[in-house]
Structure 1
């Protein structure tokens, strides 16, 4: 009989620290959230990369952010085909259920999902098929973003960053294919934003939608 695995000790130590240090400071807030429900003003669509947690980057308190994370912080276009759509369902809930005011598509540097897309694209149709049931199809959502690249760097790292930027621009365009978001944006009840986090420096770059360029945040 297989032995039941023990709960990861690192998680237990983390929970103990949370319970002893942070929970006493946040206990009243948690009680209110439990009684009244969540009412976050901001929804963030970010990457599931462990180095780019929005709650950490924005020093957020419990209940402040509604965070959707997936590989490469991608936003699929509106496509109600009766299949399973986890990201789209979360977007719909954030907009229609929670009535968020701001939606931020947030990418980051050295994104493995974007890197995988580039590798697959450059390998061409004769590349050996990878043993993946889901990732290849998912990262194909990056492809339309290539038309939105604004930068022209010469090195490989710069080209990947340019595509990471463009994927955020594409994500915002895909959000506008959701009728509810498009309508709410048109009447000024919802705002769409883009940002990119530099893992190596900790700098946040914010999308200027008038120019399409990313500038370091000066908050």
Structure 2
């Protein structure tokens, strides 16, 4: 069995198109990034969903955002001896090594991970309850928040509210990391919770004082 196969033709064509246009037009900028290293101002933790295009939403250039993506844009709590080290390691590097000044959690509408969490909480996804389900065990991070939306009758509204609770969960868990809490207390790091409506192009920001998401 082949471990790795040649790249599909359409991706090869797209690469050469990028190299001849975008790269060629910004060659000096790419070389500067390569020689001087990265200095991103912000870290964005977003969902893996292919419909969430972080750099396009904010019109960001290469080197501007340090981006981490996972299922449902979740951050686990600080657990030095736990098993969730991929996301935790990325947060640690962004805050302690890159010294980002903004830490953004970006949730979105129609999130498949959140939908799966709802199904799991309602007993409709036994496959996710299995110990060997990576997605199920990851969504255990959000599972406790289901009680906050359990009584919402409309499925779309329920999903939307739990998607926003996923953002809040990540913000809360980020503050359990000592180096994050210290940076926030020192005023060198600010936290931001966002939720975007894929179909409408809307963007809402979580305001901790009111406990609500408001349109940007």
SS of aligned partner of 2:61:
coil
Is the Cα contact below 8 Å between 1:48 and 1:70 reproduced in 2? yes
SS of aligned partner of 2:209:
coil
Residue 128 of structure 1, CA deviation: 3.6
Structure 1 residue 186 corresponds to structure 2 residue 185: yes
Equivalent runs, 1:78-93 vs 2, <5 Å: 78-81=78-81, 83=83, 85-93=85-93
For these two proteins, the number of residue pairs brought into alignment is: 214
Equivalent position of 1:173 in the other structure: 172
Residue 87 of structure 1, CA deviation: 0.4
Is the Cα contact below 8 Å between 1:148 and 1:170 reproduced in 2? no
Is the Cα contact below 8 Å between 1:111 and 1:164 reproduced in 2? yes
Question: CA distance change for structure 1 residues 41 and 148 in 2, over 3 Å: closer, same or farther?
Answer: farther
Unaligned residue ranges in structure 1 (runs of 5+): none
Is the Cα contact below 8 Å between 2:184 and 2:190 reproduced in 1? yes
Aligned CA RMSD, in angstroms, stands at: 2.3
- Counterpart CA distance in 1 for 2:123 and 2:6 is 42
Unaligned residue ranges in structure 2 (runs of 5+): none
Residue 147 of structure 1, CA deviation: 5.9
- Counterpart CA distance in 2 for 1:121 and 1:139 is 10
Equivalent position of 1:70 in the other structure: 70
Residue 83 of structure 1, CA deviation: 4.3
Residue 148 of structure 1, CA deviation: 6.1
- Counterpart CA distance in 2 for 1:159 and 1:24 is 47
Is the Cα contact below 8 Å between 1:42 and 1:101 reproduced in 2? yes
Equivalent position of 1:97 in the other structure: 97
- Counterpart CA distance in 2 for 1:2 and 1:178 is 41
SS of aligned partner of 1:66:
strand
Is the Cα contact below 8 Å between 1:152 and 1:162 reproduced in 2? no
Is the Cα contact below 8 Å between 2:107 and 2:164 reproduced in 1? yes
Write the deviation string for residues 140-182 of structure 1: whole angstroms up to 9, x where unpaired. Answer: 1112334666x97541011000011111111101000000000
Question: CA distance change for structure 1 residues 154 and 2 in 2, over 3 Å: closer, same or farther?
Answer: closer
Residue 20 of structure 1, CA deviation: 1.9
- Counterpart CA distance in 2 for 1:4 and 1:44 is 30
Q: Structure 2 residue aligned with 1:129, among 121, 127, 132? A: 127
